[in-house]
Amino acid sequence: LAQRVPAAQGSDELAQLTATVNEMLERLEVLFSSQRRFVADVSHELRTPLTAMRGNLELLRRTSQAAPAQIGPSLAAMEREVNRLVRMSSDLLLLAQAESGVHLRSEPVALDELVLEVVRDLAPLAQGLTLRPAIAEQVEVMGDRDRLKQALLNMAANALQHTPPGGSVTLAVACAGNHAELVVHDTGVGIDAEALPYVFERFFRADRARSRAAGGAGLGLAIVKWVAEAHAGGVNVRSTPGEGSTFTLWLPIHPPALT
């Protein structure tokens, strides 16, 4: 980016100013390089489904005389990729809005009702698994209901995706001091200790091949983190490979004004 300003000689004030300017330049450099990486990641993520679709289109063109039975699988593959692109664009749009400082609603949200709603919405995806709510008490926070629902849906959908048949996924809500907690616990495959610190980063996937096949672009947990922090709360994860994972999103019950 920019050259460092050479250290000034003679005056303390000037030396201090130089140090401050250099520190600002360093911070800018970090910012720019994370932006560059973001653009590179987005391009990569767009190219993969587009390449798959191009392959299928070529196949269809060459076999346009083929029987419908041959055409079906290609069309189905393209439909899957299009769905992935649509999902990714809406996730990217949401994250872009987050960065530009979009205003959250501040309305009373009954977290226990939210949990029941998400369990109902995801029940069709929970085949062979137990998906259950665990509501210790009624908990109300001030916040943005749609965004909180999206965060809970993202965590719960991940849990279902990474839990083999016979396992269970529990969505709990509870109060802990001044905080409300939404907890998603699964008895699934778990996350390796090396991957754990990165799961909330954009485009991070612990198991690329499997997560990609499942349709994710690695944006779901970045959105969860943004939603939690925009509510003056936070999110954390504990996990044991082979035993399962627990994601906890906590929110202040009486938050400062939302940004």
- Interface positions with ligand ADP (CB under 6 A): 154, 158-159, 162, 186, 188-189, 191, 199, 204-207, 211, 216-222, 245
Q: Report the DSSP pairing between strands 179-186 and 234-240.
A: unpaired
Minimum CB distance to ligand ADP smaller for 4 or for 210 = 210
Compute CA 53 distance to the chain's CA centroid, rounded to the nearest angstrom.
25
| Nearest distance from C-beta of residue 188 to ligand ADP, angstroms | 5
Q: Closest CB to ligand ADP among 222 and 228?
A: 222
Q: Report helix, strand or coil for 223.
A: helix
Tell the smallest beta-carbon distance from residue 40 to ligand ADP (Å): 18
In the complex, minimum distance from the CB of residue 14 to ligand ADP, in angstroms, rounded to a whole number: 47
3-state SS class at 245: strand
How far, in Å, CA of 86 to CA of 242, rounded? Answer: 32
Residue 148 vs 159, nearer CB to ligand ADP: 159
**Closer residue to ligand ADP in complex, CB, 22/168:** 168
DSSP code string of 70-103? HHHHHHHHHHHHHHHHHHHHHHHHHHHHHHTTPP
Minimum CB distance to ligand ADP smaller for 170 or for 211: 211
Phi then psi dihedrals of residue 99, to 5 deg:
-70, -35
Q: Please, what is the minimum distance in Å from the beta carbon of residue 127 to ligand ADP?
A: 17
- CA 251 to chain centroid, in Å, comes to 17
Shortest Å distance, C-beta 2 to ligand ADP: 34
Rg (CA), the chain: 23
Shortest distance in whole angstroms from residue 90 CB to ligand ADP? 13
CA distance from start to end of the chain: 31
* Burial of residue 149, with CB atoms counted within 10 A of its CB: 0-12 exposed, 13-18 middle, 19 or more buried: middle
Cβ proximity to ligand ADP, 60 vs 196, nearer residue = 196
